[in-house]
Amino acid sequence: MEEKISIVKTWLGTGSINIFGLPMSGKDTQGIKLAESLNAKFLSSGLIIRTKEAETKQSYSEHGALIPTNVFYEWVLPYFERPDLFKYPLVLSSIGRWAGEENEVMSIAASAGHAIKAAILLNISENDVKKRFEVAKTLNDRGERKDDNNIETFHTRLEEFRTKTMPVLERYRDLGLLIVVNGNQSRETVFNEIVEKLYEKASQSHA
């Protein structure tokens, strides 16, 4: 596994890997672990947006809808050009979730030296994430995502993924960048599958 991670790290350089999935599919959990393994920096669009909302006392996302594209561009895209990230690869958690945003994300990422090398979909059914929702609600373990305790908000987030984010994933698929991973497995198994499929992609690029 360590050798495969090393090969992925060499292939990635200072590029980016963008992770997508339904709410509660494990994007941040897997993204943080992958970033640690690759000595990369982790950027979560959700965390950035919630921080900006608190700073500016504005609220776009509390009811589950994606923030307007112009606000997303203003708040999130500048992170790609931060000097403290210049020498590092990036692992992204769902940056550019609204159809059309992926083009601007790919453009600014490439110009900043963090070209997107792969997009990962943690594939899990809506029924399974709803079960995770119920468990998390019972345990009250969602941290800063306390809005997930609201079932209406959660359903809105599912609908936003269906209608706005699925076309983004199709775009990545058309570009040959999409990697689909079975997200309904143990965390360790999901991570191992991510590494295996990134290794395959890295190996193919040198073939």
The amino acid that residue 189 corresponds to is T
For residues 38 and 19, what is the distance between their CA atoms, to the nearest angstrom?
15
2-205 CATH fold: Rossmann fold (3.40.50)
At 30, the pLDDT band (50, 70, 90 cuts) reads: very high
Mean pLDDT of 83-110: 97
**Side chain identity, residue 191:** F
Which pLDDT belongs to residue 133? 86
- Map tokens 């606000």 to a residue: 71
pLDDT band, residue 151 (cuts 50/70/90):
confident
Measured distance CA(59)–CA(63) in Å, rounded: 9
Beta-carbon contacts of residue 9 (< 8 Å; ≥ 6 apart):
38, 39, 89
| pTM assigned to the model | 0.91
Torsion over CA: 164, 167, 173, 177 (sign): negative
Give, in order, the Cα–Cα distances in Å from 152 to each of 64, 138, 158: 8, 16, 10
